[in-house]
Amino acid sequence: MSEGYSVSEGRSFPMGATVSAQGTNFAIFSEHAEKVELCLFDEMGQTETARIMLPGNTDHVWHGFVEGVHAGALYGYRVYGPYEPQRGHRFNPNKLLLDPYAKRIDGAFHWSSIMYGYDADNPRQDLVKDKRDNSRDMPKCVVVAPLSLSDKERISEARPQVPWHKTIIYETHVKGFTQLNLAIPSSARGTFAGLAHPENLAYIKELGVTAIELLPVHGFIDESFLTAQGLSNYWGYNSLHFFAPHSGYLNDGDPAEFRHFTQAAHEAGLEVILDVVYNHTSEGNHLGPTLSFRGIDNASYYCLQAQDSRFYVNDTGCGNTLNLKHPRVLQMVMDSLRYWVTEMGVDGFRFDLATVLGRESHGFDPGSGFFDAIKQDPVLASVKMIAEPWDIGPGGYQLGNYPTGWSEWNDRYRDTCRRFWRGDPGMLPEFARRIHGSSDLFEHSGRKPSSSVNFITSHDGFTLADLVSYKNRHNEANNEQNSDGHHSNFSENYGVEGETDDDAILYVRERQKRNFLATLFLSQGTPMLLAGDELSRSQKGNNNAYCQDNEINWLDWQALTKKEIALSKFVSHLIKVRSSSPLLTSQRYIHKPDEPDGKISWCVNWINSYGEPMKDAQWAEQHAHCLGWVLEKIPVAEDSDKKSERLLVLFNSGNDDVLFRLPEDENVIGWKCLVDTRFIDGQGVPSCYEPRGEVPLMHKSLCLLKALFDGQDERD
């Protein structure tokens, strides 16, 4: 059924559908296929208008050039080969398959038994091939016109290129951030266009962050068990397309909308980082649907169990594991990453379950093919790379073991800060290591403090407001009998579970929010703020809201109180303090004693509430909750034009107030107070303390002081 089309072998590179003036070249990898057919459809995607056998096969890439097929054409593939699940092969030409390289998808996916490659009603389950054709119900790939070289150059030139040590990440969700913002046109809410709205970008920019990190925006589908319950995969960690933006975030289906968002973000000086899921696909386990990779070449794209290739390696907990050890699968991931950088304007990536990507046959390897490919790539070597350094596979927890140039989500920072401020015993030494940039985890391999992505909360878990309002998770809305989500949250409610009108409880909760936020932005490392935490967004105690596409996750811009606005201003102030001090954004670890850096000596000290250096015995005290952290840079050369700078951060996570004696120094003429979390309304913060005075450090509070030296005043 190829009448009317002139077909030639074309080229095996590049992969996917490549448009030219005369037509389109199609190329798709399948090592074990016996035949591949390109299927073309009418503009409604309902009628198959042509079925063309790809005539070329070069190095397991099937290819063909079809004259007269141009941008906008709808297509899919049928791939022929053995249906032998026990040998890892699940070919079924009755199922229309999506091109792994498709840059745009037309039509929505709907679950039905026809989407499975096997006969779901047969007692032998996936061992029996289903012979029904699914093409009418299957979404279609769309041929997309290439971006011009000048457009690519324009994207490259517009990048803010914020250095790592000055980076502040704002983790957010396309829909959750925009859905309830009435300042945005209703048609744009929940989309990339809404996120690009000047009102949104102005808010993010004014907050002071430098990078927007988006939860997954690659095309994804909802799991069948969720749709059966009226729920959805709101977070989006269920990718099916690695090149096409998720259609639910597009206003009119055009992927260029995402590019327009990154352009608007760059004009505002903001970088864009994508949370990407290359560890598994939405095709699930051996009883999952056949939508793309499974039907194209199951044995190549997925890691299969050695003892029985019918079943999948499940290092992800999602049913399957993408096989990056295969060069063609690795090529696809690399091509995808480059595409999002060069044609969509992305500035970096956060890799979900990144240990999967670096696991070789012998286990996790920081010199794996994936990491080597990234490091030598002329495009990707210069963009930000962030790992979620764990998975559920063997040897899955790899915090601190990633290559140089990578940063990692530091869950030890998260848990330690939570436990310290909750008042857990014996936390001082660990707390000091974490706020100092976790040098014990990263410095040994020559990595910098920015390698540690510090966070108190993220999309996964309690929000900041819930962290100080709930002892227990409340995930009943997820329909899993409240058994899902993290068990150990290290949270506290301070007397009442959830909402309360008790002023004393509300006061300590507000202080604790500020303590967590101040700790985050005053720590060495790269801070990451969860969007909405600065506005006290609550999920009503749900610590696993992955399936809640509703007000539980959406940020309510219309219901902001004076207290919430004050917290947002506090965050903005913290970021300004951080950004203005080299001591808080050091590009290397500061130790005591430290070698002079040119004409400047950098130093860190830890002091007790008497203003004296911490002793070994005091570090070991189980019920010690008070600590002072001194950061300073001192000119060591007579001809230096630099000024001394000293910051003192006072922490008190205990239940008793403390009078903290300031350290004596004849060169210090006073201490300027920059932050004091006991003043939750921003009013009444002392302007300055005497050089040898005492600071009233309330229980559950933090204070940041800046030393004033002779010749300086409070405006310095």
Cβ atoms within 10 Å, residue 474: 17
**What pTM, to 2 d.p., does this model score?**
0.97
* Neighbouring residues of 212: CB distance < 8 A, sequence distance ≥ 6: 170, 172, 195, 204, 265, 270, 271, 272, 273
DSSP-derived pairing of the beta strands 89-90 and 56-58: unpaired
Does residue 175 contact residue 148 with C-beta atoms inside 8 Å?
no
Could you say which DSSP state residue 11 is in?
-
Q: Within 13 Å, how many C-alpha atoms sit on residue 536's CB side?
A: 21
pLDDT recorded at residue 529: 98
Does residue 234 contact residue 553 with C-beta atoms inside 8 Å?
yes
- Residue 654's DSSP bridge partners are none
Domain 588-709's class?
mainly beta
Rounded CA-CA distance 378/338 in Å is 10
Summarised one tens digit per residue, pLDDT across range 355-393 is 999 999 999 999 999 999 999 999 999 999 999 999 999
Q: Where are the domains of the chain?
A: 588-709
Cβ atoms within 10 Å, residue 593: 10
Structure tokens that stand for 11 in this block: 């080229």
Q: Is 352 a catalytic residue?
A: yes
From the candidates 223, 275, 352, 549, give the one annotated as an active-site residue: 352
Does residue 504 contact residue 666 with C-beta atoms inside 8 Å?
no
Give me the phi and psi of 580, to 5 degrees please.
Answer: -90, -5
Structure tokens that stand for 351 in this block: 């890799």
Does residue 291 contact residue 97 with C-beta atoms inside 8 Å?
yes
DSSP, residue by residue, 278-298: -S--TT-STTS--SSHHHHHH
Per-run averaged pLDDT (10 residues), the chain, 716 residues:
85 98 98 98 96 98 98 98 98 98 97 95 90 97 94 91 98 98 96 97 98 98 97 98 97 95 98 98 98 98 98 98 98 98 98 98 96 97 97 97 98 98 98 98 96 98 98 97 95 98 98 98 98 98 98 94 95 98 94 67 94 96 97 77 88 98 92 96 85 94 95 59
Rounded CA-CA distance 94/379 in Å is 39
Total residues belonging to the chain: 716
Query: Left if phi > 0, otherwise alpha if psi is -120 to 50, otherwise beta: which for 438?
Result: left
Summarised one tens digit per residue, pLDDT across range 430-457 is 999 999 999 999 999 999 999 999 999 9
DSSP, residue by residue, 105-140: EES-----GGGSSB-TTSTTGGGSB-----TTTS-E
* Neighbouring residues of 636: CB distance < 8 A, sequence distance ≥ 6: 596, 599, 600, 601
* Neighbouring residues of 354: CB distance < 8 A, sequence distance ≥ 6: 279, 387, 388, 389, 391, 402
pLDDT recorded at residue 520: 98
Q: What crossing angle do the helices spanning 411-422 and 503-522 adopt, rounded to 10°?
A: 140
DSSP, residue by residue, 475-518: -GGGSSTT--S-S------TTSSS----HHHHHHHHHHHHHHHH
Closest to 657 (Cα-Cα) out of 696, 685, 684: 696
Instruction: Tokens 């390897």: give the residue.
Output: 365
Rounded CA-CA distance 264/184 in Å is 15
Closest to 205 (Cα-Cα) out of 214, 196, 192: 196
- Cα–chain center distance at 53: 41
Does residue 191 contact residue 149 with C-beta atoms inside 8 Å?
no
Q: Alpha-carbon dihedral of residues 280, 281, 282, 285, nearest 10 degrees?
A: -60
DSSP, residue by residue, 38-94: EEEE-TTS-SEEEEEE--EEETTEEEEEEET--TT-EEEEEEE--EEGGGTEE--TT
pLDDT recorded at residue 600: 75
Q: Is 388 a catalytic residue?
A: yes
DSSP H stretches of helix in 319-457: 327-342, 369-376, 411-422, 428-435, 439-442
pLDDT recorded at residue 692: 85
Structure tokens that stand for 620 in this block: 């070991």
Does residue 25 contact residue 65 with C-beta atoms inside 8 Å?
yes
From the candidates 106, 388, 549, 632, give the one annotated as an active-site residue: 388
pLDDT recorded at residue 35: 98
3-state DSSP call for residue 417?
A: helix
Instruction: Tokens 């009503």: give the residue.
Output: 540
- H or E segment to which residue 261 belongs: helix 256-267
Q: CA 701, 702, 707, 713 torsion: positive or negative?
A: negative
Is the previous residue joined to 163 through a cis bond, with omega within 30 degrees of 0? no
Query: Left if phi > 0, otherwise alpha if psi is -120 to 50, otherwise beta: which for 62?
Result: beta
- Cα–chain center distance at 77: 32
